[in-house]
Amino acid sequence: MLFQKKPNLDWIVAFLGNPGSKYEMTRHNAGFLVGDEFAKAQGVKLDRAKHRALTATCSVAGQKVLLMKPQTFMNLSGDAVSEAMRFYKLPLDRVAVVSDDIHLELGRLRLRPSGSAGGHNGLRDIIDKCGGEGFPRVRVGVGAVPPGWDQADWVLSVFRNQDAEDILRAAARAADALTCLLTRGIDEAMNRFNA
């Protein structure tokens, strides 16, 4: 009997957001926007259903990378990420996560080698289900909650006009930052992209 060897993998990159056209271009889907930009730059499409996510595999500077957009909804992102980690037997520090951040001005990037969830439910779920805070992340600023707004309503609001243009530019920069993280390491990526 032949046993099929599991494919080797160097990285998992999880782009956080909510599935469905209802959530396209919302602030909480900044991670998905970065995923689309990164996949396009790598010449792949995030369209293969696997590990409760839309996935694609690509090679970045000789490293095999699984890209994933969890389809579990934001608050259960850890379900998809932990399933992929178990399948590929990857440690947490080989998982990079891209998410939105309401504590950063629109379009600003913040890369970190690890850290708390910072009030972000998707990151919190990954921390809870994947074994801790020790994973690099790229956070994309979507702007602070305006006075009088409920936080949930704000993160589910749609980017419009100049904000839409700004977030698409930020998504392209975040894709570049992610490439730097994967190829040159988190320290160099932080030096270059943390404004």
For the chain, 195 residues long, give each residue's pLDDT as a single digit of tens: 455 555 589 999 999 999 999 999 999 999 999 999 999 999 999 999 999 999 999 999 999 999 999 999 999 999 999 999 999 999 999 999 999 999 999 999 999 999 999 999 999 999 999 999 999 999 999 999 999 999 999 999 999 999 999 999 999 999 999 999 999 999 999 999 997
Distance CA 41, CA 49 (A): 20
Cα distance between residue 195 and residue 192, in whole Å? 8
Find where tokens 């409920």 sit. Answer: 150
Q: In the prediction, which pLDDT does 97 show?
A: 98
Domains of the chain: 11-193 (3.40.50.1470)
Structure tokens at 15: 């782009």
E strand map for 132-174:
137-141
Rounded to whole angstroms, the Cα distance separating 183 from 185 reads 6
Backbone φ and ψ of 55, nearest 5°: -130, 165
Which residues are known to be catalytic?
A: 28
What is residue 20's predicted lDDT score, i.e. its pLDDT? 95
Cα 170 to Cα 79, 85, 94, 164, distances in angstroms? 27, 28, 24, 10
Instruction: Look at the block and give the residue holding tokens 């913040």.
Output: 110
* Main-chain phi, psi angles of 83, to 5 degrees: -60, -45
C-alpha span between 34 and 27 (Å, rounded): 12
Tokens of 87: 């399948």
Note the pLDDT of residue 7: 59
pLDDT at 167: 98
